[in-house]
């Protein structure tokens, strides 16, 4: 139904959202967040917090950010986020392994570039098909990549289990393999890429993305290069997802195989952006935080209330019910996700001076 | 030659199962333009409920009836809680909502009925039978016959009954259908209930093949290429698409497998679907979409 498309996506992007960027507040907010991330956290956080909470949070946020550019901003559905993360991880691993002279950031970037290349290939069908037809392409990518990395042992350097483990993480002679080192590496990359993404979505490229999301036929009619816009969204999104995958393998898991990036990972990333907010950069962070915190919260809650009477299987199912209901509720009531609620709350707490 | 034939027929019969799953999608897509990702979890729910009931000593037919009643209740609830608040939203939004819905149904089904693997015996023997030069499983033939009857019944429902006609009217133009007095909510509830029934049949057949367990809900992912090949709006398309996917998967495994490595049925169907998309974007039997600004 082409006629309903426009209305729906217009609801997704109220003009207040990001078409007119707020001029002063984000700067303070961003500075404060950066101060916390690089100043406060390294001082107070212990290894458990760094390893089990903060690193996965940052990496999942980055992955959400990558998918959000494609799905939230450019309107192209994808169930292949896991595949692109996987390609990023395996490619950087091979660059680190086979070209040991390259510094770490270059290997990571090359891994991201490989993912971007694959994203371009799997994005090509989007020029001819759209909507959930495109899901076939991304689902195909998901299963193909998983199959290829399990089948061909060359990718994992003939490791018997088909798994890759983090090589030396060092930069300019500094060893980064301690929890704090890995955290700082992750946080730096995530901050950098978020800054790039934030500028990108406000640039002409970003505007063409939202134009084709709102209605690509109309965008084509007014002269927006639809082909370039769609493909650039696939490339940028895949690059970021690839880097997120490499970080997930090297700074969080330590050891990963093709199944660390299976279809459930793709769903998880998609849920992050639906819950956090489609078409909102902050939403990716909020969604990732939510998806990490809810299981921990449920665990503690069940333990305090029933004292270990509830098995993990049941908790997992409860979690599924909560995620599912929340998704339906948010799509019906607030398609811009938790980010919109948070924005409303902050407006209410800090009324802007006229 | 007979080896080729046996692979082909085996693949076609496996394809019948894909068709059954895809059929549920087509029904819902025709009536409400929703790509219902939750069809797989409905299938899981139906099979789980049925097997749990029979394990508690309920007669097979009664268990089927109770499961069907549950599916109708679920259809009513879905219409109320999901479809109505989301009327008029984009395809993508509705798809994501059904993704959430599938999580809810899976969660509820496994919370209530557990997540163990159940064996399901419908009393259909799974023994090979000699037909001409090749061997075919009796179970597969029965499944194919059941699907055939189901397809025939559904085609008649769509083309010959008042309900079927109003259903097609809603699919064509919900606003116009409403303005001539067709009740959208009734039509949607009925369609989702019928799709639940198809899910029940598919769930029982798949379940007695692989055991009733969580992985049943994953057959939904295979339905997507089937629908793309056959066309989203055609019952015939779902059947033909399923057969094509089933047959080509087994043949690819047989002839391509040794060349590039086995297990390629995990992704082969998607590549095939993409190839079809590039040639015929609306599938073999689907309606051509016209876009207006």
Domain residue ranges in chain B: 15-220
CATH topology of domain A2-349: ABC transporter involved in vitamin B12 uptake, BtuC (1.10.3470)
Each residue's pLDDT tens digit, A222-260: 888 888 999 999 999 999 999 999 999 988 988 888 888
For chain B, what is the mean pLDDT? 84
pTM: 0.87
DSSP run (H or E) holding A174: strand A174-175
Q: In this predicted model, what pLDDT tens digit does every residue of B212-241 receive, in sequence order?
A: 888 877 777 888 889 888 888 888 888 899
Query: Which pLDDT does position B292 carry in this prediction?
Result: 60
**B280 interfacial to chain A (CB closer than 8 Å):** no
Is B103's CB within 8 Å of A313's CB? no
Which residue of A lies nearest to B113 if distances are taken between CA atoms? A314
Question: Quick one: pLDDT band at residue A61, thresholds 50, 70, 90?
Answer: very high
pLDDT band at A26 (very low <50, low <70, confident <90, very high): low
Higher pLDDT, B260 or A92: A92
pLDDT grade, residue A12 (50/70/90)? very low
Q: Which residues of B touch A77 (CB under 8 A)?
A: 92, 95
**How many other CB atoms are found less than 10 A from the CB of residue B166?**
20
CB-defined contacts A:B, below 8 A: 142
Q: Give Cβ neighbours of residue A131 (< 8 Å, ≥ 6 apart).
A: A77, B91, B92
Q: B59-101: per-residue pLDDT in tens?
A: 888 999 999 999 999 988 998 888 888 887 887 888 889 999 9
Mean pLDDT, to the nearest integer, of A110-131? Answer: 87
B108 touches chain A (CB under 8 A): yes
Average pLDDT, stretch B164-178? 83
Q: Which helix (H) or strand (E) holds A170?
A: strand A170-171
Contact A327 B278 (CB under 8 A): no
Q: Do B96 and A133 touch (CB under 8 A)?
A: no
Averaged over B251-279, what is the pLDDT?
A: 83
Higher pLDDT pick, B293 / A93? A93
Contact B228 A5 (CB under 8 A): no
Q: Which residue bears the tokens 């209901």?
A: A325
**Are B270 and A267 an interchain contact pair (Cβ–Cβ within 8 Å)?**
no
Domain boundaries defined on chain A: 2-349
Q: Does B275 touch chain A (CB under 8 A)?
A: no
Q: What is the mean pLDDT of residues A280-295?
A: 91
The pLDDT score that the predictor gives to residue B289 is 64
What is the per-residue pLDDT for A200? 93
Which two structure tokens, joined as six digits, stand for B164? 């079927």
User: Of the given ranges (A163-177, A253-267, A290-304), which has the lowest mean pLDDT?
Assistant: A163-177
pLDDT-above-70 percentage for chain A = 88
B253 touches chain A (CB under 8 A): no
Interface test with A, best of B92, B95, B117, B245 (most A CBs within 10 A): B92
Could you report how far apart the first and last alpha carbons of chain A are, in Å? 42
- Write down the pLDDT at residue A283: 92
Please give the structure tokens belonging to residue B152: 């025939």
The more confidently predicted of residues A175 and A325 is A325
Q: Identify which has the larger pLDDT, A112 or A16.
A: A112
Q: Do A317 and B111 make contact, defined as CB atoms within 8 angstroms?
A: yes
Max alpha carbon distance in chain B (Å)? 59
């Amino acid at each position: 139904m082409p006629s309903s498309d426009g209305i729906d996506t217009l609801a997704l992007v109220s003009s207040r959202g990001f078409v007119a960027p707020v001029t002063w507040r984000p700067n303070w907010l961003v500075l404060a967040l950066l101060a916390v991330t690089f100043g406060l956290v390294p001082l107070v956080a212990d290894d458990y917090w760094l390893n089990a909470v903060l690193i996965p949070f940052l990496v999942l946020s980055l992955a959400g950010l990558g998918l959000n550019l494609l799905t939230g901003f450019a309107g192209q559905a994808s169930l292949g986020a896991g595949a692109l993360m996987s390609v990023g991880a395996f490619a950087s691993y091979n660059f680190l392994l086979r070209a040991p002279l390259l510094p770490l950031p270059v290997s990571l970037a090359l891994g991201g570039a490989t993912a971007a290349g694959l994203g371009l290939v799997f994005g090509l069908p989007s020029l001819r098909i759209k909507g959930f037809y495109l899901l076939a392409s991304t689902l195909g990518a998901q299963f193909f990549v998983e199959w290829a990395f399990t089948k061909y042992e060359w990718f994992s350097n003939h490791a018997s289990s088909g798994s890759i483990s983090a090589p030396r993480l060092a930069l300019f002679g500094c060893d980064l393999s301690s929890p704090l080192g890995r955290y700082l590496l992750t946080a730096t990359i995530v901050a950098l890429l978020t800054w790039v993404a934030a500028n990108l979505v406000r640039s002409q490229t970003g505007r063409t993305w939202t134009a084709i999301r709102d209605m690509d036929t109309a965008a084509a009619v007014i002269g927006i290069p639809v082909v370039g816009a769609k493909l650039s969204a696939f490339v940028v999104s895949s690059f970021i997802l690839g880097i997120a995958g490499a970080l997930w393998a090297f700074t969080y898991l330590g050891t990963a195989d093709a199944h660390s990036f299976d279809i459930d990972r793709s769903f998880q990333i998609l849920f992050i952006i639906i819950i956090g907010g489609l078409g909102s950069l902050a939403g990716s962070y909020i969604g990732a935080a939510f998806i990490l915190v809810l299981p921990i919260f449920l665990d503690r809650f069940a333990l305090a209330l029933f004292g270990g009477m509830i098995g993990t299987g049941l908790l997992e199912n409860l979690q599924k019910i909560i995620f599912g209901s929340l998704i339906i509720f948010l799509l019906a009531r607030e398609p811009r996700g938790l980010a919109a609620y948070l924005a409303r709350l902050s407006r209410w707490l800090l009324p802007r001076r006229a | 030659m007979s080896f080729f034939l046996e692979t082909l027929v085996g693949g076609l019969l496996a394809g019948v199962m894909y068709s059954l799953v895809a059929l549920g999608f087509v029904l819902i897509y025709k009536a409400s333009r929703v790509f219902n990702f939750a069809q797989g979890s409905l299938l899981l729910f139906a099979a789980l409920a049925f097997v749990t009931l029979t394990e508690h000593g309920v007669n097979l037919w009664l268990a089927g009836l109770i499961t069907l009643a549950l599916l109708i209740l679920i259809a009513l609830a879905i219409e109320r809680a999901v479809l109505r608040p989301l009327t008029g939203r984009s395809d993508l939004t509705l798809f994501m909502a059904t993704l959430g819905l599938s999580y809810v149904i899976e969660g509820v089904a496994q919370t209530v009925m557990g997540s163990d693997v159940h064996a399901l015996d419908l009393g259909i023997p799974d023994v090979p039978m000699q037909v001409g030069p090749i061997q075919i499983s009796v179970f597969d033939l029965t499944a194919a016959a059941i699907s055939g009857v189901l397809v025939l019944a559904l085609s008649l429902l769509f083309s010959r009954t008042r309900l079927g006609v109003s259903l097609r009217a809603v699919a064509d133009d919900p606003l116009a259908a409403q303005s001539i007095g067709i009740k959208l909510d009734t039509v949607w509830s009925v369609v989702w209930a019928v799709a639940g029934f198809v899910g029940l049949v598919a769930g029982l057949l798949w379940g007695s093949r692989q055991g009733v367990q969580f992985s049943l809900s994953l057959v939904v992912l295979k339905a997507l290429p089937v629908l793309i090949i056959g066309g989203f709006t055609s019952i015939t398309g779902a059947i033909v698409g399923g057969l094509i996917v089933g047959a080509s998967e087994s043949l690819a495994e047989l002839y391509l497998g040794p060349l590039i490595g086995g297990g390629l049925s995990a992704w082969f169907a998607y590549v095939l679907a993409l190839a079809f998309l590039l040639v015929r974007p609306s599938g073999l039997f689907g309606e051509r979409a016209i876009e207006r600004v």
